[in-house]
Structure 1
Amino acid sequence: MGRLLTLLVLLLGMFVAPSPAQAEPADIDAAARGVVRVVILGSDGEEVYPISHGSGFAVSPTQIVTNAHVIRDALADDSLRIGIVPSDGAGAVYGKAVAISSRNDLALVELTGDLRLPPLTLVGGPLADSGESYAVGYPMNVDKAQGLDIGDIFRSQPPVKSRGFLAGTRPSRSFDTVLHTAPIARGNSGGPLLDGCGRVLGVNSFGADSGGSDAEFFFAVSNRELRAFLRDNGVAPRINDTECRSLDDLEAEERARLDREQSAARAALDNRSEEERVRRERARFEAEMQVRDERDDRMLASVLLLLLGAGLIWWAFEKREPVESEFGTVAWPVRNRIVLALGIGAVLMALMLHVSRPGIDEIDRRVSAVMGGEADESDGAGELRANGSGSGKTDYVCTLDPQRSRVTSAQAQQVSFEWSAQGCVNGRTQYGLSAGTWSRVFVPNEEQAVAVNSFDPARRIYRTERYLLSRGAMNTARAARSKYSAPACGTEDAASSLGDMQTEVVSSLPTQPNERLVYSCEVAEGD
């Protein structure tokens, strides 16, 4: 009964306990681009042949790290050479050992050819005692199982990836190591141990002797040892200490954030509608009072003027005393004629006031004028808030938002730029406008990564998404990019035309980026 209860508890825990975050396969593949096979080569004067091999990974475009024991034979025999075979189809080159640390089994090798590798990023800070880990390298037992011959070893092949879990950190052989269960074999030595985001946790070095019966554990030289080794030899690797988060988690949080923003916007719209209704009712009441007062005033004035005019006309007729003029005709006295004219003028003015008095429709016109003026003022304020200023150009300072970002390499924490209403950045880089989104695609020639930068002026959100591609996928993106020239700032229809031009490059990219950096922007002081 007790065992049954324990089993039920364990099963319940499987459904209730949250599952750990899974690795992004694209991140492990991206890291594998910088993993190489390290081959120790001998020669009989005519042919070059392999003696042994291990693994290594790039810490700069022209430098790799491996284990010291992988290249020990080449260090002891000047006739032996170190061959570096990349994973993605580029040609093999020779390497030269520039630093050795036998104490912690680390070696730094400089590439002597034209090969450029994408460097891996190291995890910064202390490591967790648990979590996923991935060993990437070239185990010999896989080569044997595939029946690879000597010539196959010199061809570029993807490294083998094996999954396990961290089992803690501990000192071993006088240096710090990471204990894990990701299977490695001979040939994996010098390859990286990665976390779920494809960042280096350590350098795989050796395994525990299980005697064929116990669980197998493996050891990697810790990043603490690796960082100190690189620093002592003048290498500044990429280091990242942010939390490893999946894109699915980020997108779920972003959807929830957008839902909250939309709910807040709807509530604000409802409040604004209620406020507008109250303002309209107040404006109508005030307009009605004004129109009523004006109508009453004009009616009273017209009646008084009519009475005055009638009285003056009556007096002019009643008190007339015709006199004979010098020409022998009979005419009214000048006084009566003046009074008669004043009376007629008063009557005409009374009629004008009566006709020109405001009608009932004047109330609606005045309400519309008041509400229209408030709307124009509100729209102007909204445009001011959206663009930052009324000048059409705004300086922004954008700060990385770690809660909304997935960072897998070292990046700047702040971005500054000038934005124009036409989508021009810093007066020289035009952004494209497509489906309501401002974006610019960057396809560099010197790096195996495509970056898509976008900016939302209304929400003041700047975003960079980076796609870490294989050499073949990068060539496809470069071919698509070579088909157009980005229009200069100020060119007619520059934004819409560039938005269309970038479509082919974007369609060639994977569905999800490896890295997403989200920045919250503020208008720079003094702008």
Structure 2
Amino acid sequence: MGRLLVKIAALLALLAPALAHAEPADIDAAARGVVRVVIIGNDDDELFPVSHGTGFAVTSDLIVTNAHVVRDAMSDNDLRVGIVPSGGGQAVYGRIVSVNARNDLALVRLTGSLRLPPLAIAGRPIANSGEVTSVGYPMNVDRAQGLDLADIFRSMPPVKSRGFVSGERPSRQFDTILHTAPIARGNSGGPLLDPCGRVVGVNSFGADNEGGDAEFFFAVSNRELLPFLRANEVEPVINDTVCRSLADLDAAERERLEREQMEALQSLAQRAEETRERRERALLKAQLSVAEDREDRMALAFILVLIAFGLALWAWSEQQKIDPESEDAELRQKKIKIAFGLAGFLVIVGLIAFLTRPGLDEIDRRVSAEMQEGAGGNTTDPENPETGDANLVCRLIPERSKFTGANPPDIEFDWAETGCVNERTQYGYAAGTWSRVFVPNSEDAVSVNSYDPDRRIFRSERYLLPRSAMNEAREARGKYTAPVCGAEGAAVQLGDLQGEVLGQLPTQPNERLVYRCETRE
């Protein structure tokens, strides 16, 4: 039976990576909120560690761990709970807020500020055979490194171990996740993470390994964790999105761009064909109308000349009949002159009609006019709205985004073509991109916001950095002052100034939020 379990575990290890693969950056980002929980004794004012486990932040000042990790401190008033951060900084004491021995959960409040980033809780159960990672401080690793009990007061990164879910099953007392991500004494209370660094359980205990059986471990599931937190009026960060890697998003983005380019080419070819057909119809129509107009003008000229010839012939014949001695000779002479004058006028009009008949170049002019009229005079592409100043509301595109926290809200801002946002925040312009780098002092995360006014796409990429890297980013940011919003040359100047901070960031962010913007009513 033991050999069969080993074979099954090995088979799962071969198959599971094809189903899910943890991104180290996501696990490292989550590990920033993992702490060592130390039970501390006092002997003649000399502090010493009694035991230790692991915990993780669910808010900036609340830590989840196992109930059995803090059991000694509950039963002995002389013992205290110490919280040692993983990313550096002074350890602080913790105060036990709530303990539930039934499901082995405890909540500890920090008495000092460690500025810990809360871990997100997975809002959906992880699939069987899904990849998971245990994060914590196993004692056997400490011993292997030659660390004594005093060393556990020092900040050091937690240990990460990967495995796979073997099933969800209730124990006699509470709901657990069975998995193969190794844990040992000291891991108790640490998070069990999905590939995106979200908590799917709280590591609690391991199965007996007598006789060489395959090792399995148990974590308190979120079905127990979430009610426990809510019972203590704690609203954790919950993320129920599908876990996707940035590589998956990048591949989908490339496919989307290729698809859009193909659709654009097809649309262009279709419009070209429609334009060609419309031009052919316009050309035939112009040819017929010009030919008709030419014939009409020539016919008019011929008729006018014919009438003029008739009038002139009549006037000449009447001129021959006039008797100078007759009483009406003068009146008839006037009529003859009018007839000759009218005949000359008609000849001139006929000549003008003939000379002004449409030429072949009129065909091109009429085709051009027909094409412009057919286009409706609208040259604006609805897929590419006009750029420039705009009051915008931007809504998240979930299928193009990755985030580990709660669902982000809509964003509203006013954009000026100078790169000025809300009349106070200048965006830099470099390599054809508008962007602004934010390096806050309140959290260990660098945000790079960018806006594409042509496509009206707003992006926010967050880099969840360890404390040392964050300090370097703050130092680089402190070297420059952002220019006044809208000042001459401010965009290009800021684009150059932000280069040093951007150069220190990893190649990939931990979170990417993509928004589609439209004009705000």
Calculate the TM-score normalised by the size of structure 1. Answer: 0.84
- 1:315 Cα offset (Å): 5.0
Cα–Cα, structure 1 residues 369 and 491, in superposed 2: closer, same or farther, change >3 Å? farther
- 1:154 Cα offset (Å): 2.4
The residue number in structure 2 matching 1:305 is 304
For residues 452 and 438 of structure 1, the distance between their equivalents in structure 2, rounded to whole angstroms, comes to 10
- 1:519 Cα offset (Å): 4.6
The residue number in structure 1 matching 2:395 is 398
The residue number in structure 2 matching 1:508 is 504
For residues 362 and 488 of structure 2, the distance between their equivalents in structure 1, rounded to whole angstroms, comes to 45
Aligned-residue Cα RMSD (Å) equals 3.5
Q: Which amino acid aligns with 2:131?
A: E
- 1:251 Cα offset (Å): 2.3
The residue number in structure 2 matching 1:485 is 482
Give the counterpart of 1:410 among 395, 402, 406. 406
The residue number in structure 1 matching 2:213 is 214
1:51-130, aligned counterparts within 5 Å?
51-130=50-129
The residue number in structure 2 matching 1:3 is none
- 1:168 Cα offset (Å): 1.5
1:176-187, aligned counterparts within 5 Å?
176-187=175-186
Cα–Cα, structure 1 residues 48 and 336, in superposed 2: closer, same or farther, change >3 Å? same
Offset from partner CA, 1:389-424 (integer Å, 9 cap, x none) = 8996465463543x4433422213x52536657366
The residue number in structure 1 matching 2:384 is 386
- 1:137 Cα offset (Å): 0.9
Cα–Cα, structure 1 residues 514 and 128, in superposed 2: closer, same or farther, change >3 Å? same
The residue number in structure 1 matching 2:27 is 28
Contact 1:21 / 1:246 at 8 angstroms: preserved in 2?
Answer: no
SS at match of 1:473: helix
SS at match of 2:19: coil
- 1:194 Cα offset (Å): 0.9
Contact 1:322 / 1:332 at 8 angstroms: preserved in 2?
Answer: no
The residue number in structure 2 matching 1:237 is 236
Contact 2:392 / 2:517 at 8 angstroms: preserved in 1?
Answer: no
Cα–Cα, structure 1 residues 281 and 501, in superposed 2: closer, same or farther, change >3 Å? farther
- 1:33 Cα offset (Å): 0.5
The residue number in structure 2 matching 1:275 is 274
Contact 1:104 / 1:225 at 8 angstroms: preserved in 2?
Answer: yes
The residue number in structure 1 matching 2:350 is 350
- 1:278 Cα offset (Å): 0.2
- 1:189 Cα offset (Å): 1.3
- 1:312 Cα offset (Å): 4.0
Range that drifts further, 191-200 or 503-512? 503-512
Range that drifts further, 363-372 or 474-483? 474-483
For residues 34 and 85 of structure 1, the distance between their equivalents in structure 2, rounded to whole angstroms, comes to 11
Contact 1:74 / 1:81 at 8 angstroms: preserved in 2?
Answer: yes
For residues 387 and 317 of structure 2, the distance between their equivalents in structure 1, rounded to whole angstroms, comes to 71
Range that drifts further, 192-201 or 338-347? 338-347
Contact 2:17 / 2:131 at 8 angstroms: preserved in 1?
Answer: no
Q: Which amino acid aligns with 2:351?
A: L
- 1:158 Cα offset (Å): 0.8
Cα–Cα, structure 1 residues 195 and 306, in superposed 2: closer, same or farther, change >3 Å? same
The residue number in structure 2 matching 1:156 is 155
SS at match of 1:447: coil
Cα–Cα, structure 1 residues 308 and 424, in superposed 2: closer, same or farther, change >3 Å? farther
Cα–Cα, structure 1 residues 344 and 391, in superposed 2: closer, same or farther, change >3 Å? farther
- 1:221 Cα offset (Å): 1.6
Range that drifts further, 351-360 or 337-346? 337-346
Range that drifts further, 73-82 or 20-29? 73-82
- 1:213 Cα offset (Å): 1.9
Cα–Cα, structure 1 residues 444 and 225, in superposed 2: closer, same or farther, change >3 Å? same
- 1:445 Cα offset (Å): 2.9
Contact 1:135 / 1:161 at 8 angstroms: preserved in 2?
Answer: yes
- 1:192 Cα offset (Å): 0.8
For residues 96 and 279 of structure 1, the distance between their equivalents in structure 2, rounded to whole angstroms, comes to 80
Cα–Cα, structure 1 residues 156 and 377, in superposed 2: closer, same or farther, change >3 Å? farther
- 1:297 Cα offset (Å): 1.4
Cα–Cα, structure 1 residues 350 and 29, in superposed 2: closer, same or farther, change >3 Å? same
For residues 367 and 249 of structure 2, the distance between their equivalents in structure 1, rounded to whole angstroms, comes to 48
For residues 322 and 409 of structure 1, the distance between their equivalents in structure 2, rounded to whole angstroms, comes to 117
Q: Which amino acid aligns with 1:342?
A: L
Offset from partner CA, 1:108-167 (integer Å, 9 cap, x none) = 111111221000011123343321111111112222222224553222211111111112
SS at match of 1:22: coil
Contact 1:105 / 1:205 at 8 angstroms: preserved in 2?
Answer: yes
For residues 78 and 366 of structure 1, the distance between their equivalents in structure 2, rounded to whole angstroms, comes to 99
- 1:96 Cα offset (Å): 1.5
Cα–Cα, structure 1 residues 375 and 486, in superposed 2: closer, same or farther, change >3 Å? farther
For residues 61 and 190 of structure 2, the distance between their equivalents in structure 1, rounded to whole angstroms, comes to 16
Contact 1:133 / 1:193 at 8 angstroms: preserved in 2?
Answer: yes
For residues 287 and 421 of structure 1, the distance between their equivalents in structure 2, rounded to whole angstroms, comes to 46
Range that drifts further, 279-288 or 343-352? 343-352
Q: Which amino acid aligns with 1:516?
A: R
- 1:235 Cα offset (Å): 0.9
- Is 1:49 aligned to residue 44 of structure 2? no
Unmatched 5+ stretches in structure 1 = 1-6, 325-329
Cα–Cα, structure 1 residues 289 and 104, in superposed 2: closer, same or farther, change >3 Å? same
SS at match of 1:162: strand
Contact 2:29 / 2:465 at 8 angstroms: preserved in 1?
Answer: yes
The residue number in structure 2 matching 1:476 is 472
Calculate the TM-score normalised by the size of structure 2. Answer: 0.85
Cα–Cα, structure 1 residues 64 and 348, in superposed 2: closer, same or farther, change >3 Å? same
Offset from partner CA, 1:467-493 (integer Å, 9 cap, x none) = 2221222233334444242653x6666
Contact 1:433 / 1:499 at 8 angstroms: preserved in 2?
Answer: yes
Cα–Cα, structure 1 residues 214 and 481, in superposed 2: closer, same or farther, change >3 Å? same
Cα–Cα, structure 1 residues 500 and 390, in superposed 2: closer, same or farther, change >3 Å? closer
The residue number in structure 1 matching 2:365 is 365
Q: Which amino acid aligns with 2:384?
A: A
